Structure 1
Amino acid sequence: MAAAKRESVLAAATELFLEGGYDRTSLARIAEQAGVSKATLFKQFPTKAALFEATVLAAGAASDPASIVVPAEDFRAGLVTLGRAYAELVTRPEMTALMRTVIAESPRFPELRERTFDFGTLPVLAALGCYLRDAHAAGLADIDDPDAASAQFLGMIASSVFWPRLVHGTWSITDEEQERVVVEAAQTIVARYGAR
């Protein structure tokens, strides 16, 4: 029952945050729309900032990590698979809208600005970190700092797939262009870290 209530709260919060922004969305309104008491909501999410963070992370964790089948013996193919999953994640409309809200609202709300969103818990990002460490251990790659390599890889994808969409609401990229971005990012990481 607790899991069902949490899902209901997160669904209501997502809808209301996207509709009214962080400032104009009250916890009482979220509780009402979710069909739970304010006490139930506060028990799981003691502050609006904590609920907003959970909303963003839930939007990013909506896919099943088990559905990402990563080729273990081919470093480049594994990166392409994970890069595609990341591109799909950051192009979800609700993810873009929620991140736009974070950027727009955080200067005015210290409690939101001070939260450190634990994006590393998102299935795609966790899978990438594991994959890079495993590739290093298996001798497929020489990666002393998997976090830096991960940031480099995801940054190459986000700079073409996510950030323009975030800044320019009407901007778009074709599936073919997105695939080329992912493949070229994977090739760059292989050139830098692939085993010689």
Structure 2
Amino acid sequence: MSKDVPTYHQRVAQEKRKLIVTAATALFLELGYDRTSLARIAERSGVSRATLFKQFPTKATLFDAMVIESWTTADEEDPPTAGNVVDGLSSLGHRYAELLSRPQMTDLFRIVIAELPRFPELANAQFSQGKMPYFESVRNYLLAEHEAGTVRVDDLELAATQFLGMISNYVFWPTLLVPGWEVSAERVAEVVDEAVRTVVARYAAGGPG
């Protein structure tokens, strides 16, 4: 019985947290970050103000949570181990495409872009707590492959940027600019596979790079 109580409370807290983040995202898009109060978010989400303030004392902490949750992979897998660069990059690339394909990711970027002139700290949070950690995971993986001798990469930052850019430029960025832009799962898989082939062709040990 004692084991069931914390599990139940944890589940309720997670459900309320999800309601809060969903309501906050909708209100930030609808009213803007500045005009959205925590009290309004509590009302929209259907939780008490005390519950919201306990989890998120400020809008900044709430936005940080939105960023972290948006960039968290669903499977929480460990980084690929070095040794097979095609499989490793494929795993990272498909995870990245899955992240970018989430509706909340598009919403998050729209909020940041809309509020950038008045709240540059939102962009800093998105970069430092969202994109940068994933970028570092790709950079560290390429470093591990370089040290294992499977690739030769002199500029790890450039190589990671090239790889992720080939995916995001097709899968994500048009969704912010082109109404109705959709990419099928089959096409996403093709885009990731081509990005992997391009990076391997450029950097594989013994290749032309």
TM above 0.5, one fold?
yes
1:59 corresponds, among 63, 70, 76, to 70
Distance 1:162 1:34, change over 3 A: same
- For residues 154 and 130 of structure 2, the distance between their equivalents in structure 1, rounded to whole angstroms, comes to 21
- 1:38-187 aligned within 5 A: 38=50, 41=52, 45-66=56-77, 70=80, 72-113=82-123, 115=125, 116-119=127-130, 125=135, 127-187=137-197
Distance 1:16 1:135, change over 3 A: same
- For residues 72 and 110 of structure 1, the distance between their equivalents in structure 2, rounded to whole angstroms, comes to 37
2:47 corresponds, among 32, 35, 39, to 35
Q: Could you tell me which residue of structure 2 aligns to residue 8 of structure 1?
A: 16
* SS of equivalent residue, structure 1 residue 118: helix
- For residues 158 and 92 of structure 1, the distance between their equivalents in structure 2, rounded to whole angstroms, comes to 13
Unaligned runs of 5+ in 1: none
TM-score (structure 1 length as normaliser): 0.79
How far apart are 1:146 and its partner, in Å?
A: 2.7
Aligned 8 A contact 1:17 1:25 in 2: no
Distance 1:140 1:60, change over 3 A: same
Unaligned runs of 5+ in 2: 1-5
TM-score (structure 2 length as normaliser): 0.75
How far apart are 1:164 and its partner, in Å?
A: 0.5
- For residues 178 and 97 of structure 1, the distance between their equivalents in structure 2, rounded to whole angstroms, comes to 20
After superposition, the C-alpha distances for 1:115-150 in whole angstroms (9 at most, x for unaligned) are 45422575x545423321211111111223333321
Q: Could you tell me which residue of structure 2 aligns to residue 191 of structure 1?
A: 201
How far apart are 1:183 and its partner, in Å?
A: 1.2
- 1:19-30 aligned within 5 A: 19-21=27-29, 22-30=33-41
Whichever residue aligns with residue 193 of structure 1, its letter is Y
* SS of equivalent residue, structure 1 residue 142: coil
Aligned 8 A contact 1:9 1:34 in 2: no
Moved more, 173-182 or 103-112: 103-112
Whichever residue aligns with residue 65 of structure 1, its letter is E
CA RMSD of the aligned region, Å? 3.0
Structure index of larger Rg: 2
* SS of equivalent residue, structure 1 residue 73: coil
Whichever residue aligns with residue 22 of structure 2, its letter is T
Q: Could you tell me which residue of structure 1 aligns to residue 3 of structure 2?
A: none
* SS of equivalent residue, structure 1 residue 108: coil
Whichever residue aligns with residue 47 of structure 2, its letter is G
